[in-house]
Amino acid sequence: MYFTLSKTLGFLSVPTNVIACMALLGLVLILLRRPFGKIVAGAALAALVVAALSPLGNMLLTPLEQWFPGMIFPNQQIDGIIILGGSYDTQMQGYISTIVLEEDIQPMAVVADLSRRYPLARIVFSGGTDPPTRGASEAAIAKQFFVSCGITPDRISIEERSRNTKENAQFTAQLIHATPQSQWLLVTLAYHMPRAMGAFQSAGFNVIAFPVGWRTHGWRDFWWPATSATENLRRVDVAAHEWIGLLTYRLLGYSSK
């Protein structure tokens, strides 16, 4: 019940989904000759223009991506490296023999380098498959990828039940039982890092942020839209979903952030 509700709210937290629903509702109302049909359709069109042609996406996304400094390698001992899922096409993997990377692959790309920089660190991948498939889980596929990068299998642990960030933190804590003194590097996309850090800290981890995969170029992009309308829409969607997720996690006690 909780997971279904969270997915429904997740759908509604994506602005372009809401705009599309508004446009459809406006069209239906116009066809039915209802008085508010043109108002609803006009509001949908105005929202689409603002999201597609203004810097709104960058305004929402930049604070998230600049929350933690990027590409800073800690000098202290790192006991483990936690990588959050979302970069593998588990649907395609079930039909072909090669690993198919999706769009946001940066968390995977840095693992080989981090494993060499911190040779004693345990490598933990957290990510299930949603919806569940009969084939290999995302975590199992990730392990194949890490081994292909030269990381020995005995260094790798996988958590393959989680379907969201809260479960990433909860199930990873159950898997590895980290001590308060241990230090863990948390690797995920820059815009997702604030919510991930809050969730893992609330689960008892002493985590250091290692964000990757920025969509913007820092504060210089704050007042300027991207060069394509589709990219602006994508940034609005990603940022709005993440801000709503941050607020929801804070209100529900899943994160202190």
Give the closest residue to 141 by CA, choosing from 99, 82, 204: 99
> What pLDDT score does 170 carry?
94
Q: How confident is the model at residue 10 (pLDDT cuts 50, 70, 90)?
A: confident
pLDDT tens for 132-162 read 555 567 788 888 888 988 899 999 999 988 8
Q: d(Cα 124, Cα 114) in Å, to the nearest integer?
A: 12
The residue behind tokens 């508004």 is 22
pLDDT tens for 24-57 read 999 999 999 888 999 999 999 999 999 999 999 9
**185 φ/ψ sector (left φ>0, alpha ψ -120 to 50, else beta):** beta
β-pair partners for 211: 188
pTM: 0.85
- Average pLDDT of the chain to the nearest whole number: 86
Other beta carbons within 10 angstroms of residue 111's beta carbon come to 20
Dihedral sign for Cα 152, 157, 162, 167, please: negative
pLDDT at residue 91 tops 90: no
pLDDT at residue 96 tops 90: no
pLDDT tens for 217-238 read 999 999 999 999 999 999 999 9
Q: Could you give the domains of the chain?
A: 2-66+229-252 (no CATH), 80-212 (3.40.50.620)
pLDDT tens for 104-139 read 667 778 898 999 999 999 999 998 766 555 556 778
Q: Which of 92-96, 122-126, 196-200 has the lowest mean pLDDT?
A: 92-96
In the chain, the DSSP E strands lie at 80-84, 122-126, 156-159, 184-189, 207-212
The SS3 call for residue 102 is coil
